[in-house]
Copies of this chain bind each other. A is one copy, B any other.
Amino acid sequence: MTYNPPIPQILLAMQTADRFAATQSGDLSPEDVQAILSEAGRFASERIAPLNPVGDRTPSTLDESGKVTTPPGWRETYQAWCEAGWNSLTGPTEYCGQGLPISLAVACTEFWNSSAMAFALCPLLTAGAIEAIYEHASQELKDRYLPKLVSGEWTGTMNLTEPQAGSDLSNLRCKAKRTGDGSYRITGNKIFITYGDHDCSPNIVHLVLARLEDAPAGTRGISLFLVPKILPDGSHNDLRCLSLEHKLGIRGSPTCAMAYGDNGGARGWLIGEENRGLNCMFTMMNNARLLVGTQGVALAERATQAAFAYARERVQGSAPGRDGTTSPIIHHPDVRRMLLEMRTRTAAARMLCMATASALDSSVNAQTEKERHRAYARASILTPLAKAYSTDIAVEVTSTAIQVHGGMGYVEETGVAQYYRDARILPIYEGTNGIQAIDLVTRKLLLGGGETLSQILESCRRTLSAFESCLPAMQAVADTEDLAKMLCDAPGGSLSLAVAVPFQRALANVVAGAHLAEAAALARGGALETEAAVNARFFIAVELVSAVAAAKASLSGADATGSDGLE
Give me the interface of A with B, judged by CB distance under 8 Å.
161, 164-168, 170-171, 191-192, 245-249, 312, 315-317, 320-321, 326, 330, 332-340, 395, 399, 402-403, 406-407, 409-413, 417, 420-421, 424-425, 427-429, 432-434, 437-438, 472, 492-495, 497-501, 527, 530-531, 533-534, 537-538, 540-543, 545-546, 549-550, 553-554, 556-567
A-B contact pairs, 10 of them (CB 8 A): A164-B315, A192-B407, A247-B411, A249-B410, A333-B495, A337-B554, A531-B565, A541-B557, A542-B556, A549-B549
Residues of chain B contacted by A421 (CB below 8 angstroms): 248, 421
Contact B417–A337 (Cβ < 8 Å): no
Look across to chain B and name the residue whose beta carbon is closest to the beta carbon of A163: B408
A530 touching B564 in the complex, CB below 8 Å, given contacts A407-B429, A424-B399: yes
Contact A550–B553 (Cβ < 8 Å): no
Q: Least Cβ distance of A398 to chain B in Å?
A: 10
Contact A538–B566 (Cβ < 8 Å): no
Residues of chain B contacted by A406 (CB below 8 angstroms): 166-167, 428, 432
Contact A563–B317 (Cβ < 8 Å): no
Contact B166–A407 (Cβ < 8 Å): yes
Q: Least Cβ distance of A120 to chain B in Å?
A: 18
Contact A167–B320 (Cβ < 8 Å): no
Contact B545–A560 (Cβ < 8 Å): no
Contact B402–A317 (Cβ < 8 Å): no
Q: Least Cβ distance of A567 to chain B in Å?
A: 6
Q: Least Cβ distance of A337 to chain B in Å?
A: 5
A557 touching B542 in the complex, CB below 8 Å, given contacts A166-B407, A428-B406, A432-B406: yes
- The answer, among B334, B338, B425, B500, for a CB contact under 8 Å with A438, is B334
Q: How far is the CA of A543 from the CA of B560 in the complex (A)?
A: 13
Top 8 nearest A-B pairs (CB, nearest first) are A541-B557, A549-B549, A542-B557, A333-B497, A538-B560, A530-B565, A333-B498, A534-B565
Contact B411–A428 (Cβ < 8 Å): no
Q: Least Cβ distance of A196 to chain B in Å?
A: 14
Q: Least Cβ distance of A92 to chain B in Å?
A: 31
Q: How far is the CA of A538 from the CA of B560 in the complex (A)?
A: 6
- The answer, among B326, B407, B545, B566, for a CB contact under 8 Å with A336, is B566
Q: How far is the CA of A550 from the CA of B472 in the complex (A)?
A: 12
- The answer, among B192, B434, B561, for a CB contact under 8 Å with A340, is B561
A497 touching B332 in the complex, CB below 8 Å, given contacts A411-B247, A549-B546: yes
A320 touching B424 in the complex, CB below 8 Å, given contacts A411-B246, A545-B553: no
Look across to chain B and name the residue whose beta carbon is closest to the beta carbon of A166: B406
- The answer, among B330, B413, B540, for a CB contact under 8 Å with A566, is B330
Q: Least Cβ distance of A11 to chain B in Å?
A: 18
- The answer, among B245, B249, B334, B395, for a CB contact under 8 Å with A498, is B334
- The answer, among B326, B411, B533, B545, for a CB contact under 8 Å with A556, is B545
Contact B428–A317 (Cβ < 8 Å): no
* Copies held by the complex: 2
Contact A399–B395 (Cβ < 8 Å): yes
Residues of chain B contacted by A559 (CB below 8 angstroms): 537
Q: Least Cβ distance of A8 to chain B in Å?
A: 13
Contact B494–A247 (Cβ < 8 Å): no
A501 touching B161 in the complex, CB below 8 Å, given contacts A167-B317, A409-B428: no
A493 touching B320 in the complex, CB below 8 Å, given contacts A411-B246, A556-B545, A560-B340: yes
Q: Least Cβ distance of A401 to chain B in Å?
A: 11
Q: Least Cβ distance of A4 to chain B in Å?
A: 16
Contact A407–B161 (Cβ < 8 Å): yes
Contact B438–A168 (Cβ < 8 Å): no
Q: How far is the CA of A99 from the CA of B470 in the complex (A)?
A: 58
Q: Least Cβ distance of A292 to chain B in Å?
A: 14
Look across to chain B and name the residue whose beta carbon is closest to the beta carbon of A560: B538
Residues of chain B contacted by A395 (CB below 8 angstroms): 399
Q: Least Cβ distance of A355 to chain B in Å?
A: 23
Residues of chain B contacted by A540 (CB below 8 angstroms): 557
Residues of chain B contacted by A407 (CB below 8 angstroms): 161, 166, 191-192, 428-429
Residues of chain B contacted by A498 (CB below 8 angstroms): 333-334, 336-337
Contact B541–A553 (Cβ < 8 Å): yes
Q: How far is the CA of A171 from the CA of B559 in the complex (A)?
A: 53
Look across to chain B and name the residue whose beta carbon is closest to the beta carbon of A246: B412
Q: How far is the CA of A116 from the CA of B493 in the complex (A)?
A: 41
Q: Least Cβ distance of A139 to chain B in Å?
A: 36
Contact A320–B530 (Cβ < 8 Å): no
Q: Least Cβ distance of A506 to chain B in Å?
A: 11
- Besides A402-B428, A530-B564, 19 new A-B residue pairs in contact (Cβ under 8 A), listed by A number: A166-B316, A167-B406, A247-B411, A247-B412, A320-B492, A330-B566, A330-B567, A332-B434, A334-B434, A336-B561, A410-B424, A420-B424, A537-B560, A538-B560, A538-B561, A540-B557, A541-B557, A541-B560, A549-B549
Contact B550–A546 (Cβ < 8 Å): yes
Look across to chain B and name the residue whose beta carbon is closest to the beta carbon of A332: B497
Q: Least Cβ distance of A289 to chain B in Å?
A: 16
Q: Least Cβ distance of A330 to chain B in Å?
A: 6
Q: Least Cβ distance of A321 to chain B in Å?
A: 7
Contact B403–A428 (Cβ < 8 Å): yes
